[in-house]
Structure 1
Amino acid sequence: MTAILTVTMNPSIDVSASTEKVVPVRKLRCTNVRHDPGGGGVNVARMIKRLGGDCRALYPAGGAAGHRLRHLLDEEGILSIPIQAAAETRESFTVVDQANRDQYRFLLPGAPLSEAEWQACLDRVAALVEPPRYIVASGSLPPGVPDDFFARLARVAALIDARIMLDTSGPALAAALEAGVHLVKPNLREFRDLTGLPLDREGDWERAAEALVHAGKADIVALTLGDQGALLVSRDVHLRTRAIPVEVVSAVGAGDSFLAGLVWRLSVGDGLADAFRYAVATGTAALLTPGTELARKRDTDRLYRQLMPHRTPDRNRKRI
């Protein structure tokens, strides 16, 4: 049985390139062009495969771009579960300015899905002959999909005895947490938007994460903090690690890589501390690759060996 299923409601073809200098009006000749399958859950599936795991990826796909998306995933050995959509799958593109190494990211909106199309995604998960242990729901929702889609998916996950791991933002995140998830992975900006709090200090982050856990909205909160590292909170475990200093080439896919490392290591039986440490290493490794390329396993393993998690002071809870 494949233990992990990813669900990506707004997949894309990610195009990346570089140009000598980004300036207005002029034609900008590009080099280093590459096309990758994209969207939150798609990237998680690709990263899990790179790390040595196995995963199924469910996503709506339409038109020539949707056909190409499946072809690109097939080339990477990802088992696809495409759900036919009438509208063309979107594209996004990233351009690197070689003069100053700035990165420009352009995300095109997803085409609307009909009620029949998004409901077909839920029905397909519910009907899986071999239900997964983990469902990774990651990325944005395209037009036409209700804000409570991930909440509905969480209820489907409960019916098939799967644990849902969530990485989204805005109203979709808030609605899913009302239904309850196993793990949620916001970044700091998303966490501030969710709580409505400034969350300026480290203690604020931890208290806000604890509040979600104790309210029963998430069993685990994994908060990514960019160059400040990451924090993980559950009822029994509080873990904090600083960022690993590296020279950043591209930040594209770092959050997806973090989540992939975390879910994969949990799926093979690692405890939270080791899985968290591996997640930080995987997210950091993604910073070392250009454009839309994901982390390399050799970089992840090297960084993992460097990293030891820092435990918060004892609060009469069990520590690992």
Structure 2
Amino acid sequence: MASDISSRPATAQPIVTLTINPALDISTSTPRVIKDHKMRCGPSRIDPGGGGVNVARTIHKLGGGALAIYAAGGLTGATYRQLLEAEGVPSLAVPIAGTTRESFTVDENESSEQFRFVLQGPEFSEAEWRSCLATLEGSIIPGGYVVASGSLPPGVPTDFYAQVARLAHRRGARSIVDTSGEALTDALAEGVYLVKPSLRELSELVGRELTSEQSEVDAAAELVTRGSAQLVALTLGEAGAVLASAAGVIRLPVPQVRVQSAVGAGDAFLGAFVWRLSQGRDPETAFRSAVAAGSATAAKPATEMCALTEVEALEKLLPEATRY
């Protein structure tokens, strides 16, 4: 049975996440990936994945609480629900007629390279995506945070996350969006509290190539000046991350870890960020936790999420932020 948000550990402000296109994450390994060959794989791992759900899973692992709302259907959806409930993450599943998608990750042992295959997702009817919005609206608590993350499946309009942002604003909550393409552009036209673009996504948003450190800083600050977002967290992989706000722009490097899997690292970054914000921490402190959590998750195998002790250990290794 799905958990209720009342079972969430106490935090300063409540957090609700929305994942309209979740995926059952399957991960395994093989010695080499060779075309036209039958490749024998090692042990496999299955996790409930997708942006908002991974954000909620991260918050749960770190000792906080978030209500994860997600769409689910078919046999895959039933498995997904069982796995998420087994982790103890408070959740609400919105039933759909289609079958929840899968994603498949293969680590090639000989090269240490990772291959990721992400399926498209089921077609949604208008009634189904509106049901997701209605479930979210009934779960938003004034003063809290709403995290809408991940791709949009077929049948869902590109302004879906913009509608989420409007719902959050109307209910007195802060909206956080992590997506790409037109869905991201539409959401930022509405205005959000926090956005987490990649370098490519930020380049598309400002309409120019970002080829230097200063150009990255200027572009992140531009989104704040435009009113697109109050906080812009630009993630740059091995090159670290940038945080822009009305208070200025800062940059942090990532701690040195042995990267095992990139799956879920960005979601862990966002989960730690909003978790710290919900505790009343300032954005810079939350940003440090986010960088540590993203790195801690990248150091985990397959689709495993980070633990609090790992995040705290990496936080101590981070230097003072560079200020611009």
Q: Does the TM-score normalized on the shorter chain lie above 0.5?
A: yes
Cα offsets for 1:252-284 (capped at 9, x unmatched): 111111101100001011111111101000001
Q: 1:199 aligns with which of 210, 223, 236?
A: 210
Does residue 201 of structure 2 align to residue 190 of structure 1?
yes
Unaligned runs of 5+ in 1: 314-320
RMSD of equivalent CA atoms:
1.3
Provide closer, same or farther for how the CA distance between residues 63 and 226 of structure 1 changes in structure 2, counting only shifts above 3 A.
same
Match of 2:85 in 1: 74
Match of 1:316 in 2: none
Deviation >6 Å, runs of 4+ = none
Report the alpha carbon displacement of residue 29 of structure 1 after superposing the two structures with TM. 1.2
Does residue 301 of structure 2 align to residue 256 of structure 1?
no
Asked if the contact 2:254–2:318 (Cα under 8 Å) also holds between the matched residues in 1, the reply is no
Match of 2:287 in 1: 276
Does residue 149 of structure 2 align to residue 138 of structure 1?
yes
The one-letter amino acid paired with 2:155 is G
The one-letter amino acid paired with 1:53 is G
Asked if the contact 1:277–1:309 (Cα under 8 Å) also holds between the matched residues in 2, the reply is no
The one-letter amino acid paired with 2:219 is A
Does residue 296 of structure 2 align to residue 285 of structure 1?
yes
Match of 1:12 in 2: 23
Match of 1:40 in 2: 51
User: Structure 2 length normalisation: TM-score?
Assistant: 0.94
Identity among equivalent pairs (%): 48
1:1-320 matched pairs, under 5 angstroms = 3-128=14-139, 130=141, 133-313=144-324
The one-letter amino acid paired with 2:23 is S
The one-letter amino acid paired with 2:233 is A
The one-letter amino acid paired with 1:262 is F
Asked if the contact 1:273–1:309 (Cα under 8 Å) also holds between the matched residues in 2, the reply is no
User: Does the residue aligned with 1:32 lie in a helix, a strand or coil?
Assistant: coil
Asked if the contact 2:140–2:168 (Cα under 8 Å) also holds between the matched residues in 1, the reply is no
Cα offsets for 1:143-194 (capped at 9, x unmatched): 0000000000100001111101111000000000000000000111211222
Cα offsets for 1:23-50 (capped at 9, x unmatched): 1222111112010001111111111100
Provide closer, same or farther for how the CA distance between residues 113 and 261 of structure 1 changes in structure 2, counting only shifts above 3 A.
same
Unaligned runs of 5+ in 2: 1-5, 9-13
Q: Counterparts of 1:130 and 1:149 in 2: how far apart (Å)?
A: 20
Provide closer, same or farther for how the CA distance between residues 7 and 181 of structure 1 changes in structure 2, counting only shifts above 3 A.
same
The one-letter amino acid paired with 1:181 is V
Higher alpha-carbon deviation: 201-210 or 104-113: 201-210
Report the alpha carbon displacement of residue 305 of structure 1 after superposing the two structures with TM. 1.2
Asked if the contact 1:240–1:309 (Cα under 8 Å) also holds between the matched residues in 2, the reply is no
Provide closer, same or farther for how the CA distance between residues 129 and 96 of structure 1 changes in structure 2, counting only shifts above 3 A.
closer
